[in-house]
Structure 1
Amino acid sequence: MSATLKVHSLESCGTVDGPGIRFVVFLQGCALRCQYCHNPDTWKMSGGTAYTVEELFAEISKYKSYMRFSKGGVTVTGGDPLLQAGPLVELFKLCRESGIHTALDTSGFLLNDRVKELLGLTDLVLLDIKHFDPETYKAITGAGLGPTLEFFEYTQAQGIPVWIRYVLVPGLSDQPEHIRALAAYLGGFQHIQRIDVLPFHKMGEYKWNELGYEYKLGDTPEPSKESLVAAMAIFKEYNLQVATT
């Protein structure tokens, strides 16, 4: 029997989840419970639509010409794709055989043999680091920071290119001293291709309300342009390539 993936949704022409035009697969399931998550409807594995690996690859393949022309590929996000690493190995094998660039968008909370096998078939990791202070990281996500750093350091050891994503939330992740500590840590690695400093937004708040979850950031404003520029400048001080917003 073919392996199946629980899919929340598909996007055929993504432009912000890796290089070029991307076919983006949003999977069900996430171990974290981030305060600013804009897709809380992906948290539980019980939702979504089941696709066999072959069915999903057939959908991806329809856009192969766009990927080739734009030097794009397929990005798997969520939720968090690491919860479905097993069937993703089979999907990424098919992508590699067809010359399709693969990217994983993850918090890096899990590193086991199956995840390592998946990373061996991954061309790019988009790694979300929510905060560099362990206590604040746990307050934001409900999980520990250690596994994410272990995952990140493994990508360095394996020579897998990484884009770091950092969401700037006023009063939660915009403290200059913690951003500087993260930048100093990241500055010691050579496999980071870019840093994305992403402004907090509340576009997913309505989903929290519909699901009956308490949204704690209802009164939190979006970050100012000045605070975004200041955060980006700190990363640049450590010779990190920062993407413009």
Structure 2
Amino acid sequence: MLKYKRILLKLSGESLMGGQGYGIDGDVLERFAMEVQQCKELGTEIAIVIGGGNIFRGVSKASENMDRVQADHMGMLATVINSLAMQDALERKGIFTRLLTAIKMEQIAEPFIRRRAIRHLEKGRVVIFGAGTGNPYFTTDTAASLRAIEIEADIIIKGTRVDGIYDADPEKNPAAILFPHISYIDILKKNLRVMDLTAITLCRENSLPIVVMNMNIPGNLERLILGEQIGTLVSV
């Protein structure tokens, strides 16, 4: 029995790098596609948002002398590159997908239309949302929250390389404590860098739960969808 029928999976661009310093690691892409395939075979409706930090970040040192709007547009295009890579990995596994972008580029993707996105999900296609919200100054975390609300997803699943939300960075502090559950308000009060504040506020206002979990543990996504306690649940 599925606990979550329709999900939005948020992946960072950095997660696609694997052990590389930049770009896309084919093995990581293949593993993520396999995780999605397992959940798809259970009957889950899946949408995906991927960041672009493995290629370009609008707030990085590389863009510090750039106009912020210009830099953010470059970041949006980076998310489209990652989305195309994920689409290819999924379709090589026989999974029907649709890439919808917030910036029109009809030669390679459909423009985002809410009703069309929902219809694709209902038909069993994996929907990938590219180019963020289409607006500068908004992160892909905010885009993930916005799209999840628009398609009426049951939950946002943020795939990371750690086991959930901690009171400190577990990669720097081995004594960091994992929260099995935390409220939106506590994330804001403690200033935990889980998702940006706009994304958290959107989820809170629309009562959309978030799970933060480790995507590098095989089968985690499937177990979560089937109802197992994985990672950290963010809710009221």
Question: TM class, shorter-chain normalised?
Answer: 0.3 to 0.5
Identify which of structures 1 and 2 has the higher relative contact order when contacts are C-alpha pairs closer than 8 Å and 6+ apart.
2
Q: TM-score, normalised to structure 2's length?
A: 0.33
Q: TM-score, normalised to structure 1's length?
A: 0.32
